[in-house]
Amino acid sequence: MATVDVLIPTCGRKTGLAIVLTSLLGQTFDDFDVVVSDQTPGDPAESYLESIELRTLRWALERRGHRVSWHRHLPQRGMAEQRQFLLEQSRSPYVHYLDDDVLLDPPTLGRMLGVLREEGCGFVGAPAPGLGFLGDVRPHEQAAFEPWDGPVVPEPFAPGAIPLGRHKVNNAATPLHLEARFAADGQPIRYKVAWIGGANVLYDRAKLIGVGGFSWWPRLPPGHAGEDMLAQAMLIRHHGGCGVLPAGTYHLVLPTTIPDRSSQAIDLLGELIAEEAAAGTAPTSGGGIAPAASAGHGS
């Protein structure tokens, strides 16, 4: 069993998927396996996962010792269900959700894993700035940057009390401008997040499953968005979570596959918190969960 399972949801992005898989070939940390879940509509026999380009990348990863699993996962029932499906295929202690529209620097996965192991928190995410915005310096967004002063600890996130302004630091090329100020030597800087998006996030698998993973997906319509924000809010409440710079991640700026974002998963946060309270699994005052937390959760 590898240390990390890299979980890649994909839909209609053959080129993006090829770039992501090529990025994985170049990672300096190499103790990982790969799980791909394809939701591209159409004839399974014509799935782009069967293209010679992507088959070659699969063979190259396998030749390096990585187990690669490919799944044709239809019908589409929303991104939360897609992420839950991927989580259920995993076995490693850490799961790395990696979207099909990013490019990674070689040290990225190793750096994120080092921070997650050192902090013992629920997740570490790397923002995905757009290189086309390098000339767009935004001091007002940089002002939202809050480095962790000391260890990463749980925070009492609840409906109406999430510091949404923190997300500004992940916009455009702001992470790259912050790197130049605070992480020019390449040493990881941990910072506080409201959420980090889903493009490049490394989770402690047991902690993610312990807060329910994405198992609440049936409560949402298929066209929802923000499933990563809800899962991360639950983890921040119990175990804490952080962003990291240097990000080592670049957004490919491909068209979104979720154009309708009117239904937001974070609207379920109040329900999940109430259910935890009723089950005796709410976070304790010192972080973590109450003793009854082992009941009722799983992938």
- Domain of 237, CATH number, reads 3.90.550.10
Q: Which pLDDT score, from 0 to 100, does residue 285 have? A: 55
Q: Is residue 292 part of a domain?
A: no
pLDDT in the model for residue 263: 79
pLDDT band at 261 (very low <50, low <70, confident <90, very high): low
Lowest-pLDDT choice from 38-47, 82-91, 175-184, 235-244: 38-47
Asked if residue 295 has pLDDT above 70, the reply is no
> 194-251, pLDDT tens digit by residue?
999 889 999 999 999 999 999 999 999 988 999 999 999 999 999 999 999 999 999 9
The span from the CA of 279 to the CA of 164, in Å, is 28
Sign of the alpha-carbon torsion through 9, 10, 14, 19: negative
What is the predicted pLDDT for the residue at 293? 32
Q: Is the pLDDT of residue 4 over 90?
A: yes
| Residue partners of 90: CB distance under 8 A and separation at least 6 | 5, 7, 35, 205
Please, are residues 177 and 265 in contact by the beta-carbon 8 Å criterion? Answer: no
pLDDT attached to residue 255: 73
**Average pLDDT for residues 90-110, to the nearest whole number?**
98
Q: Tell me, yes or no, whether 290 lies in a domain.
A: no
Contacts of 25 (CB under 8 A, 6+ apart): 57, 60, 61, 64
Domain hosting residue 245, numbered range: 4-281
Give yes or no for residue 12 having a pLDDT over 50. yes
Residue 100, domain member (yes or no): yes
Q: Structurally, how many domains does the chain consist of?
A: 1
What is the identity of the amino acid at 110?
G
Q: What's 132's DSSP letter?
A: G
Q: Which residues contact 196 (CB under 8 A, 6 or more apart)?
A: 123, 125, 126, 127, 170, 228, 232, 241, 243
Distance CA 244, CA 40 (A): 31
d(CA 77, CA 87): 15
- Does a structural domain hold residue 296? no
Which pLDDT belongs to residue 10?
Answer: 94
Is 261 a member of any domain?
A: yes
pLDDT at 298: 33
pLDDT at residue 299, rounded to an integer:
27
Q: If pLDDT is split at 50, 70 and 90, which confidence band does 296 have?
A: very low
Strand, helix or coil for residue 210:
helix
Is the preceding omega at residue 75 within 30 degrees of 0, hence cis? yes
Q: Is residue 236 one of the residues assigned to a domain? A: yes
Residue 214 and residue 225: Cα distance in Å, rounded?
A: 12
Q: How far is CA 239 from the centre of its chain?
A: 16
- Owner of token pair 């409440």: 237
Domain annotation covers residue 117: yes
The mean pLDDT value of the chain amounts to 91
Predicted confidence (pLDDT) per residue in 21-72, tens digit: 999 999 999 999 999 999 988 876 566 667 899 999 999 999 999 999 999 9
Q: What is the pLDDT of residue 291?
A: 32
Given a cut of 80, is residue 287 above it in pLDDT?
no
Q: Is residue 289 part of a domain?
A: no
The pTM of this model reads: 0.93
pLDDT of residue 260: 65
In whole angstroms, give the CA distance from residue 205 to residue 226.
20
